[in-house]
Structure 1
Amino acid sequence: MAKNYIQPGNTISWTNADVTGAVDVASGDGVVAGSLFGVAQGDIAVGDSGELGLIGVYDLEKVSAQAWTFGQRIYWDATAGNATTTASSNKLIGVAVEAAANPSATGKVRLSAAFTI
């Protein structure tokens, strides 16, 4: 292994900065941090650090009125704090790995681990 290798990058440490409008993050919440999207691996209070999962399959809150199909691109609406099939200004985070009905509160998403540019 290269002497400059740090880690596989499946999770990344993130600090929930104590800035105006900051809120505590609960385990399982989606987080947009710059050009990264991850899922909090534990509760992360304002001012604390914690791990964000960047890859894997997660059951995420979704737009209830949307039906999802297997393999459909899924985006994160940071304003609403949920997953959606609507691209617009939302960040691409992965694909649906299971159909989700309309209505339903959550959907299974395989995170892409790609940058959400």
Structure 2
Amino acid sequence: MKNYVQPGENITITATAAATSGQGVLVGNLFGIAAGNAEIGDSLDLVTVGVFDMPKVSTDVLAVGDFVYWDDTAKLATADDDTGNNELIGLAVTAAGNPSGTVNVRLNG
């Protein structure tokens, strides 16, 4: 197939903000987990598929299969879509209660 570019599990972008390995990164509607550290203007590989242990809003309650959103201001996973202002990033694959600081999320890719 002549128009095939890549599988898409990892996308290389130009960092628009400093990022550290393992941190969630949102660029437009593209969300992924930083595969390494980067400064503004550096190339940054984002992992866009898989299951990741992610920091979350500690008071949020998530059940397995619940939608998970990204609060880009707080840099946290959340159960709240904030009236469409938070980006849908995946599904919870573990339950996470109040209080808890993390949840396992399967990214939408």
TM-score (norm 1): 0.87
Residue matched to 2:60: 66
Deviation >2 Å, runs of 4+: none
Residues in 2 aligned to 1:14 and 1:58: alpha-carbon distance in whole angstroms = 20
CA RMSD in angstroms comes to 1.0
Describe the superposition over 1:41-98 as per-residue Cα deviations: whole angstroms up to 9, x where unpaired: 1111222111001111011110011121000000000011100000121110000000
Residues in 1 aligned to 2:37 and 2:103: alpha-carbon distance in whole angstroms = 21
Describe the superposition over 1:30-49 as per-residue Cα deviations: whole angstroms up to 9, x where unpaired: 11111111110111122211
1:11-26 correspondence to structure 2 within 5 Å: 11-17=10-16, 22=17, 24-26=18-20
User: Where does structure 1 lack aligned partners over 5 or more consecutive residues?
Assistant: none
User: Where does structure 2 lack aligned partners over 5 or more consecutive residues?
Assistant: none
User: Is residue 91 of structure 1 aligned with residue 90 of structure 2?
Assistant: no
Shift of 1:4: 2.5
